[in-house]
Amino acid sequence: MQLKSIVFLVVFLLSTSLIAQENDLTSNLYGSYETFKEPSLNKRRIKHHEIQPLIAKLVANPKFKINKVGESIEGRDLNLISVGSGKTNVLLWSQMHGDEPTATQAIFDIFNFLAGDDFKAEKEDILSNLTLHFLPMLNPDGAERFQRRNALGVDINRDALRLQSPESQTLKRIRDSLDADFGFNLHDQSTYYNAERTEKPATISYLATAYNYERDINEVRARSMQIIVFMNNIIQKYAPGQVGRYSDEFEPRAFGDNIQKWGTSLILIESGGYANDGEKQEIRKLNYVSILSAMYTIAKKNYEDIPIAEYEKIPKNDRKLFDLKINNVTYKLREKDYILDLGINRLEVDKEGNNDFWYSSRIMDQGDLSTYYGYETFDATGYSIKLGKLYPRTLKTVSEVKKLDAIALLKEGYTYVRSTTIPKDMLESLLPLNIISSTFELTELQLEVGTNPTFILEKEGQPRYAIINGFLIDLVTGKGNFKNAMIYR
């Protein structure tokens, strides 16, 4: 056998062995996730004070170094949590937008993994070759309000040049002091993004940010692309077809673009939507698995042989998803029947304190929506939209309303109930009936973008389905993914 053939065979066998190791690690990480999931962070609207006990627990662990590196505008601590002894510095930060907490939760899962006794060989590979630096919840003031911007009203991710916000100054100072080799910019995106030309949500989206208007690819950016290709392959195992790629149009004010420009290979990760995962807990798990797997491949330098051309093969992000899409429904206007598609989204409205929310749904589009998709799609061919009726009796209290058989009333075409007293702190109806006050006046149904979708779907003159605040309910079985109806005062 010629020397060249022998060398090729050795390299091939070695690379195959390394890929097999990474696949085994990924599968084991996914299978053992519940062991390391941080149970105290079980909802998206987490606050700064909720992560402080978790950071305090890390202080007592000699593996971790915790340093206060700054404060938010309102005086909340920004902590850098470091672990590992390797020469390659990896910086990860989350929640620079206060309402994007999925990766913050995943980071604390990762801490539990690194602090545990399992996966000793893999952790040794990671921590002896890398030093990991985490800045969780960079925008704690925004997190307190569950809003994108900080207390100054600034989008931190557009403050990389002026550095007006103390949070921005902290991130810049840490990046520069570490001269980080890799950076992970961790975000959430709208659940209404889909992988281009597919009905599948962009559960995870990636971007190797550009560092100039020409979108050139140098060695620094190429590494970002290689890591993203690696992570995409992981996600495909658990959410096939559900990965998107953000536009790499250069944004000169953005941290991601500038950090790439400053010499750190920047991987931007966006957590989007996943069916029946309102709190994004499955997406949190995918963050955990893919980020740890990426740490392993960086430590082993296995990514170096990945062709960057594979990056462009990841489908682009698109935004053509609705929570509920109704196809081919008949709608009568001025005594004439029209066939429409309806795109409905269930919009979250925060409750006081920004710890919980309720849904207020809207028709987002109507007409020919054949190029759009839905998490839930209903073919309404042969069904007609009818205005829901007002229950004839006015009830004195909401307690009386709760005693009604809601499904039976929906079958009769009733979607509204009037109550003379509605508690001031009652924001939503947990029955699939909209509750209205004694003075609220109902108007004739007219489908318009921006209106609340509440109506009956009839077939052959009989109510078969109800749409209550954008939730589809089967009137034969009584089943539906219903959360709440509206209250109108």
Instruction: Label residue 163 by pLDDT band (50, 70, 90).
Output: very high
Structure tokens at 470: 């954008």
CATH 3.40.630.10 in the chain, residue ranges: 24-318
Per-chain mean pLDDT for the chain: 95
169: CB partners within 8 A, 6+ apart: 70, 163
Question: How many C-beta atoms surround the C-beta of residue 348 within 10 A?
Answer: 16
Percent of the chain with pLDDT over 90: 94
Mean pLDDT calculated for residue range 15-38: 81
Structure confidence at residue 23 (pLDDT): 77
In the predicted structure, residue 39 carries a pLDDT above the cut 90: yes
424: CB partners within 8 A, 6+ apart: none
In the predicted structure, residue 3 carries a pLDDT above the cut 80: no
Q: What is the pLDDT of residues 318-349, one digit of tens each?
A: 999 999 999 999 999 999 999 999 999 999 99
Structure confidence at residue 20 (pLDDT): 58
CA–CA gap between residue 414 and residue 451 (Å, rounded): 19
**Which position has the token pair 């992000």?**
317
Instruction: Label residue 138 by pLDDT band (50, 70, 90).
Output: very high
In the predicted structure, residue 267 carries a pLDDT above the cut 50: yes
Alpha helices for 305-405 (secondary structure H): 398-402
Across the beta sheet with 64-71, the strand order is 64-71, 77-84, 130-135, 88-94, 182-188, 265-271, 204-207, 243-245
Structure confidence at residue 15 (pLDDT): 41
Instruction: Describe the crossing of helices 102-115 and 281-300 by its angle, rounded to 10 degrees.
Output: 50
Nearest to 485 by CA among 412, 430, 438: 430
- From 13-17, 82-86, 113-117, 430-434, the region with the lowest mean pLDDT: 13-17
Mean pLDDT calculated for residue range 57-74: 97
Q: What is the pLDDT of residues 193-226, one digit of tens each?
A: 999 999 999 999 999 999 999 999 999 999 999 9
Q: Does domain 24-318 have CATH number 3.40.630.10?
A: yes
Structure confidence at residue 18 (pLDDT): 47
| Angle at the Cα of 484 from the Cα atoms of 421 and 285, rounded to 5 degrees | 145
Structure confidence at residue 450 (pLDDT): 97
Mean pLDDT calculated for residue range 400-420: 97
Instruction: Label residue 14 by pLDDT band (50, 70, 90).
Output: very low
| Cβ atoms of residues 401 and 377 within 8 Å | no
In the predicted structure, residue 256 carries a pLDDT above the cut 70: yes
In the predicted structure, residue 489 carries a pLDDT above the cut 60: yes
Instruction: Label residue 12 by pLDDT band (50, 70, 90).
Output: very low
Structure confidence at residue 164 (pLDDT): 98
Alpha helices for 192-331 (secondary structure H): 219-238, 255-261, 281-300
| Cβ atoms of residues 95 and 87 within 8 Å | no
Mean pLDDT calculated for residue range 84-105: 98
Instruction: Label residue 16 by pLDDT band (50, 70, 90).
Output: very low
Q: What is the pLDDT of residues 96-121, one digit of tens each?
A: 999 999 999 999 999 999 999 999 99
Mean pLDDT calculated for residue range 380-406: 97
Q: What is the pLDDT of residues 286-310, one digit of tens each?
A: 999 999 999 999 999 999 999 999 9
Q: Which amino acid is at 81?
A: I
Q: What is the pLDDT of residues 352-389, one digit of tens each?
A: 999 999 999 999 999 999 999 999 999 999 999 999 99
In the predicted structure, residue 442 carries a pLDDT above the cut 60: yes
